[in-house]
Structure 1
Amino acid sequence: MEALVGKKCVVIVGGGVAGSLLAKNLQNFADVHLIDAKEYFEIAWAGMRCIVEPSFAERSVIKHSEYAPNATIICSAAVGVTENEVTTEDGHRTAYDYLVIATGHNDTTPATKQEKLSNYQSEQEKIKAANSILIVGGGPSGVELAGEITTDFPGKKVTLVHRGSRLLEFIGEKAGKKALDWLTAKNVEVILGQSVDLNSCTDGSWLLSNIRGRVCRS
């Protein structure tokens, strides 16, 4: 890639996959300013692993300054954009030659890496302290979390409740069947065809709203 003439100023709003990768690749060819409300890039698809093994998060939560040392990192949310500059929540104003909007979806997340790691540690402590764990939803996240917990904490009673007739419904039936067989082989109780009344929680217990659900056990 040839350097941009005169080191043009490129402002990137958003430090997710797209924004972070662009900042990393352009930092030696342009005057890059990365604007993000948090100081780090997170490998989001590693989140479930981080919950059960917080030390894993040390490798999946990376400060922007670590992978883009030649870029200017502005840790504040962008609140205004004109044809010439971007204004952030803390009052910082950055002029640009090129602007990239890579904000993705809106999500509430800790601003610092240390806060994010502490959150993962707290979640693991809750899992370690629990005698039984209920996971609501048999999509990719629910299935992955159930698998991670039962792998690292095989003595925990894990129950997965899903309102659909099979796990991973948007994928092929073979994948859902394989996930079901694996989970039940690991002693995860899978309850299909039921939904959980989230307003019924009393003293740590939950009421299932559809008693006609199918229970799958090993």
Structure 2
Amino acid sequence: MPVKVLVVGGGFAGAQVAIDLAKCQHVDVTLVTRTDYFEASFANARSVVDPSIADQALWLYEAMKPHGTFIQGEVTQLSDSTAVLADGTQVAFDYAAIATGSSYAVGKSSTALTLQQRLQELQGLAARVKAARSVLVVGGGPLGVELAGEVLTDLPGVEVTLVHGGQRLLPSLTPKASAAAEAWLRSKGCKLLLGDKLQVPPGSSGGPFSGTTSAGVAVAADVLLMATGITTNSGLLAQTLPDALDPQGRVKVDATLRVVGHPRLFALGDVTDVPEEKLAFLASQQGQLVAASIAALAAAHVAGGQAATDAAGKRLGRWRPSKGIAVMIVTLGRAYAVGRIGCLTLRGWLPTAIKARNLEGFVSKYRRQLMAQP
């Protein structure tokens, strides 16, 4: 009898787990996700000025490589062996992979359940940005800097203001990379309000805004782009398995990406407490690791029962945060980028050639990796 595996969430991590496990002879995998589409969300900053990239960065799950049974729905309850969907359907499983990701205003939609709805959202935002005379970006992390860079590059006549609570942009990069990004933004006329904060009512992103920062600076813009307030999508566990969460609401995992205290559950991607930047390529590789681990447990169970499964559980692959060295590239439009490899600062032609001028290539890579016919 096949081992039943439930995958909750179909982003880079969850989709990879489902696709890899669907190849396994002794596994029956079910993928549950709330939308009917996959989204390469790292392209969303570019889509604010060039919505055509969304046509390549979003696709239906039905166009993906075989990934088991697909259910568009929402898991509302989860135990160590059963999930309950919003419509009351119960899904029993032997193992589950929790890959529910995270949410933030521009990068991911909280309302679009279909591909067409999401494309309309992105196209509408791009139209508002193109028609704007001024844009306000709140947040100076990677998303905020990329949004400002895209607008300044493609729409040079638009006045851009960026508000950031920290004293330097891109705190996850090296100080030299942060300084290079700041210098580039200022050279393009971006008004930077560093060490300042702005209270924004929920749901304001994408529309006009006027207000006053905590330092008393009046700001107003035709379009507000929120790049703060990233929320881990762990509410599923908050009620049913609260012991699985840390104080920040992240799922606690061990080195094998098993949920601490729940050996039949794995968690991966943005939802975990793994100390690393939450990046697409890391989530995808975590998906490969978790799929291999569950496949090994399933094969052991079929071959030798519980004793063999317990033995296999002691030999599972282990995840090294950031694969042992932190790597990140942040684009500022199509012609400049900064980044890091460990303590090494990247700026200028190299990161620009890798990502800023080749963002479509990154999208194509994941289309080939995940789609049946890219």
After TM superposition, the score normalised by the length of structure 1 is 0.82
Matched, 1:208 2:213: yes
Provide the secondary structure at the position in 1 that maps to 2:112: coil
Q: Which residue is 1:54 aligned to?
A: 51
- Provide the rounded CA distance (Å) in 2 between the counterparts of 1:177 and 1:106: 28
- Provide the rounded CA distance (Å) in 2 between the counterparts of 1:156 and 1:11: 47
Out of 19, 28, 33, the position equivalent to 2:23 is 28
Q: Percent identity?
A: 38
Matched, 1:91 2:88: yes
Matched, 1:74 2:79: no
Q: Which residue is 2:280 aligned to?
A: none
- Provide the rounded CA distance (Å) in 2 between the counterparts of 1:197 and 1:34: 38
Structure 2's unaligned 5+ residue stretches are 105-109, 218-374
- Provide the rounded CA distance (Å) in 1 between the counterparts of 2:86 and 2:103: 15
The answer to whether the Cα contact below 8 Å between 2:20 and 2:67 also exists between their aligned partners in 1 is no
- Provide the rounded CA distance (Å) in 1 between the counterparts of 2:28 and 2:122: 34
Provide the secondary structure at the position in 2 that maps to 1:133: strand
* Residues 115-145 of structure 1: per-residue CA shift (max 9 Å, x gap): 1111111111110121111112222221110
Out of 127, 139, 147, the position equivalent to 2:149 is 147
- Provide the rounded CA distance (Å) in 1 between the counterparts of 2:127 and 2:39: 21
Q: Which residue is 2:98 aligned to?
A: 101
Q: Which residue is 2:112 aligned to?
A: 110
Amino acid of the residue matched to residue 54 of structure 1? P
Deviation (angstroms), 1:106: 6.0
Residues 97 and 193 of structure 1, relative CA distance in 2, 3 Å threshold: closer
Out of 60, 63, 80, the position equivalent to 2:60 is 63
Structure 1's unaligned 5+ residue stretches are 1-5, 213-218
Deviation (angstroms), 1:84: 4.4
Residues 106 and 128 of structure 1, relative CA distance in 2, 3 Å threshold: closer
The answer to whether the Cα contact below 8 Å between 2:18 and 2:67 also exists between their aligned partners in 1 is no
Residues 196 and 78 of structure 1, relative CA distance in 2, 3 Å threshold: closer
The answer to whether the Cα contact below 8 Å between 1:77 and 1:88 also exists between their aligned partners in 2 is yes
The answer to whether the Cα contact below 8 Å between 2:34 and 2:113 also exists between their aligned partners in 1 is yes
Amino acid of the residue matched to residue 189 of structure 1? K
* Residues 4-43 of structure 1: per-residue CA shift (max 9 Å, x gap): xx54332211112221101111223232210111122222
Amino acid of the residue matched to residue 128 of structure 1? K
- Provide the rounded CA distance (Å) in 2 between the counterparts of 1:157 and 1:106: 27
Q: Which residue is 2:193 aligned to?
A: 191
- Structure with more contact order per residue of length (Cα contacts < 8 Å, sep ≥ 6): 2
RMSD (Å) for aligned C-alpha atoms:
2.5
- Provide the rounded CA distance (Å) in 2 between the counterparts of 1:136 and 1:70: 38
Q: Which residue is 1:215 aligned to?
A: none
* Stretch deviating more after TM superposition (99-108 or 53-62): 99-108
* Residues 149-194 of structure 1: per-residue CA shift (max 9 Å, x gap): 1112111111112233222234321011100111122222223233
Matched, 1:125 2:122: no
The answer to whether the Cα contact below 8 Å between 2:31 and 2:67 also exists between their aligned partners in 1 is no
The answer to whether the Cα contact below 8 Å between 1:27 and 1:68 also exists between their aligned partners in 2 is no
The answer to whether the Cα contact below 8 Å between 1:37 and 1:76 also exists between their aligned partners in 2 is yes
- Provide the rounded CA distance (Å) in 2 between the counterparts of 1:54 and 1:134: 19
The answer to whether the Cα contact below 8 Å between 1:150 and 1:158 also exists between their aligned partners in 2 is yes
After TM superposition, the score normalised by the length of structure 2 is 0.50
Deviation (angstroms), 1:86: 2.4
- Provide the rounded CA distance (Å) in 2 between the counterparts of 1:153 and 1:133: 10
The answer to whether the Cα contact below 8 Å between 2:138 and 2:163 also exists between their aligned partners in 1 is yes
Out of 133, 136, 157, the position equivalent to 1:134 is 136
Provide the secondary structure at the position in 2 that maps to 1:47: helix
Matched, 1:37 2:34: yes
Out of 11, 14, 37, the position equivalent to 1:16 is 11
